Amino acid sequence: MHDFKYVNGRLHCEGVAIEGLVRRHGSPLYVYSQSTLVHHFQSLHQALEPLDHLVCYAAKANSNLGVLGVLAGEGSGFDIVSQGELRRIIAAGGDPSKCVFAGVGKSEEEIAYALEQGIYSFNVESEPELLRINRVAARLKRRAPVAVRINPNVDAHTHSKITTGTYENKFGVAFELVEQVYARAARLKNIWLRGVQMHIGSQLTEVKPFELAVAKVLPLVVRLKENHGLEFFSIGGGIGIVYDPSLASGTAQWWKSPAARKLLTPASYAQKLVPLLQPLGLRILVEPGRFIVGNAGILVTRVEYVKQTGRKRFVIVDAAMNDLIRPAFYDAYHEIVPLRRKVGKLVKSDVVGPICESGDYFCKDRPLPGFVEGDLLALMSAGAYGSVMGSNYNSRPFPVEILVNGRKHAVVRERQPIDSIWALEKKAVWQK
């Protein structure tokens, strides 16, 4: 679901024509829909209503202060992976006591900062990390709330770069070793064993892998709860979204197709998982990133040139892999649509950016409207892992980011001034 639609042939975000935003703020630009964000958060929150639960939005998917502020306003918790993310959440009005801190490489400084802010839990990824947290907590005269991340060794059947729940990955503590680790952790004076966590991967489009992973770890979670008096179980994030609506709508009555029936929605997720989790009597945490923000954002770009070489038609746009790296990095599909509806035949095109790399493309040989110089296009479903994975490669500034709410819009990130790209650099001044 999202709030981007054509009104009189012009693409709108909620009540705002996107062309107008480009006229005022230039291109490329990211546009986010507040109502889509809120709708996604609320639909998951409500589907989990039968459980004592907390939705902890995974800030890594999009940590723009405007986006975080909307979710904080809905009462969301947050899944964070760095001191920087925690600082952003506090700056956006989020509540540190609803934050869980994940990641395999937490530094002493990060642990101390998070402890001082009173986060809900550290999701611990190894025994050496547990010892370090204990040491830092002792120095600060605190007890650190922790959950150990179980690596359940199940295959999430997603892209290899975003699967996390098998022993091929660096994440978590191996299923078979978890109880020993809890037993040793129970002897650490400054550790408070508050919960247990797992996360099997990202962009899962079926509920089955979640079900299998939860079913596999349940007996272990029950034993941990009894032996250590745990309070919560986090089942991680990973709920996938539809990037290619034509796949879901392959048949005339696509909603009756097997693919559509299996589509992962908050309702289908809750229907399978709530009955498994309810008898545990634990507070359940979920850590969705992409599901909340993925379809709530688009990247708008202008066609600079159209170039025909041999068999190929290249549509060269002013956004590039430094703005949205997902196609280059994961071969990810993003739907590409014109801001102004076009009639006429579709032509096979490669949409590419100006960066000096062959990997700088948004699609290859895709039947698209016959775009010409000056046309404006939208790369859909770019709200998650879009701007946050951006870089200044080729000394390209970060684009403007805009949040739309009904008929109003707000600039939630200014376009980066070009000379700020090298503002922290210096010509060498030698020291001995």
Closer CB to ligand LLP, 222 or 388, in the complex: 388
Structure-derived torsion over alpha carbons of residues 86, 391, 57, 185, reported in degrees to the nearest 10: -60
Question: What track of x and - describes contact with ligand LLP for positions 39 through 68 (by CB under 6 A)?
Answer: -------------------x--x-------
Closer CB to ligand LLP, 162 or 177, in the complex: 162
Closer CB to ligand LLP, 134 or 163, in the complex: 163
Query: For the chain, what percentages of helix, strand and coil (3-state, to nearest 5) are there?
Result: 35, 25, 40
Q: Minimal distance in Å, beta carbon 430 to ligand LLP?
A: 40
Reading the block at residue 379, the tokens are 């790369």
Q: Which stretch binds ligand LLP (CB under 6 A): 205-213, 236-244, 250-258, 393-401?
A: 236-244
Q: Which stretch binds ligand LLP (CB under 6 A): 47-55, 83-91, 282-290, 366-374?
A: 282-290
User: What's the full length of the chain, in residues?
Assistant: 432
Please list every residue from 174 through 213 that binds ligand LLP, using CB under 6 A: 199, 202-203
Catalytic annotation on 356?
yes
105 Cβ neighbours under 8 A, 6+ residues apart: none
d(CA 332, CA 327): 4
259 Cβ neighbours under 8 A, 6+ residues apart: 247, 248, 250
Single out the residue of 40, 53, 106, 326 in contact with ligand LLP (rule: CB under 6 A).
Answer: 326
DSSP code string of 280-317: G-SEEEE--SHHHHGGGEEEEEEEEEEEEETTEEEEEE
d(CA 29, CA 400): 5
Single out the residue of 94, 96, 288, 297 in contact with ligand LLP (rule: CB under 6 A).
Answer: 288
Q: Which stretch binds ligand LLP (CB under 6 A): 5-13, 182-190, 214-222, 237-245?
A: 237-245
Residue 55 bridge partners (DSSP) = 286
Q: Minimal distance in Å, beta carbon 25 to ligand LLP?
A: 25
Single out the residue of 12, 385, 396, 398 in contact with ligand LLP (rule: CB under 6 A).
Answer: 385
Single out the residue of 94, 145, 289, 327 in contact with ligand LLP (rule: CB under 6 A).
Answer: 289
Inter-CA distances, 16 with 10, 194, 244, 407, 409, Å: 10, 45, 24, 5, 8
152 binds ligand LLP (CB under 6 A): no
Single out the residue of 25, 290, 302, 334 in contact with ligand LLP (rule: CB under 6 A).
Answer: 290
Tokens 């992973």 belong to 213
Q: Which stretch binds ligand LLP (CB under 6 A): 234-242, 277-285, 374-382, 415-423?
A: 234-242
CB 14 within 8 A of CB 406: yes
CB 139 within 8 A of CB 114: no
Q: Which stretch binds ligand LLP (CB under 6 A): 22-30, 39-47, 230-238, 337-345?
A: 230-238
Inter-CA distances, 276 with 280, 307, 396, Å: 8, 56, 49
**Which residue is catalytic, options 13, 56, 99, 356?**
356
List, by residue number, the catalytic residues.
356
Q: Which residues bind ligand LLP (CB under 6 A)?
A: 58, 61, 79, 102, 162, 164, 199, 202-203, 236-239, 287-291, 326, 330, 384-385
